A = this chain, B = another copy of it.
Amino acid sequence: MARVREAMQTSRLEAFSDGVFAIAITLLVLDLRVPELGGSGGLRSALGHEWPQFAAYLTSFLVIGTMWVNHHSMFRQIRYADRGLLFVNLSLLLWTTLLPFTTKLMAHYLRGAGSNSHTAAAVYSSDLLLCGVSFSLLWAHALRARLVPHQMSPAEQRQSILRFSVGTYIYGATVALAFVSAPITLALQFAINLYYCFEQVRARPSDPELTSDDGGSEPA
């Protein structure tokens, strides 16, 4: 098959992506700064005053962590890589490596209620949206280029693309919400990712794709 000939294993793509995810998630900490103590009030109140930094840190940590878990899940099903997949994956990594910057921007303007906080929240939400879009493209490309060894009907393919695109719709909505309130936007993004974690954990046993495909080979 001509298709198979140009394929390659995904191991190095996964290793490179793991590296970028691991570095991006760890670089977030560089934006947590030791507070300068002003005249009155001790370190405790100064740390409390820095809540936007901690809130943005926690949200972005959860976002990148969830992305890594989903990337992991997706690449358990994608068995081969072509160069198209490498470059769609690179676009996902581009928006991921931007997160330490957009998180810093969000944290810096979170407190203010004016249009600057809306701009910062819209930039942050757009970054998450572009991550979501890249995820959808990754899966759609993998299905179209037959890098997934499943037998899936066209209806099943559409359904699975939809499932991987949930993030896209939700993050699209938070771009609009950013122009209402930056703190509410961040709180929603945190809640979505937290829900997504637990939902995924609970939903797993009945996930038909994985049970049909992984049962035999992997744990052996």
Name A's B-contacting residues (CB within 8 A). 2, 4-9, 12-16, 18-30, 32, 34, 37, 42-44, 47, 58, 61, 65, 68-69, 72-73, 76, 79-80, 82-84, 86-87, 90, 93-94, 97-98, 100-101, 104-105, 108-109, 114-116, 119-120, 123, 197, 200-201, 204-205, 207, 210-211, 214-215, 218-219
Contacts and interface: CB of A to CB of B under 8 A. Distances in A.
A68 B15 CA distance: 12
A8 B93 contact: no
Contacts of A6: 204-205, 207, 210-211, 214
A42 B114 CA distance: 10
> How many protomers of this protein does the assembly include?
4
B16 A100 contact: no
20 contacts: A5-B215, A6-B205, A8-B76, A8-B214, A9-B218, A12-B18, A15-B15, A16-B18, A22-B23, A23-B23, A24-B26, A25-B93, A34-B104, A42-B116, A44-B119, A58-B94, A65-B87, A65-B94, A82-B201, A83-B201
Contacts of A80: 219
A98 B47 CA distance: 14
Nearest to A106: B34
Given A6-B204, A44-B119, A83-B200, A97 B14 contact: no
B86 A5 contact: no
Contacts of A21: 16, 19
Contact of A32 (B4, B25, B101): B101
A26 B29 CA distance: 13
Contact of A101 (B5, B29, B207): B29
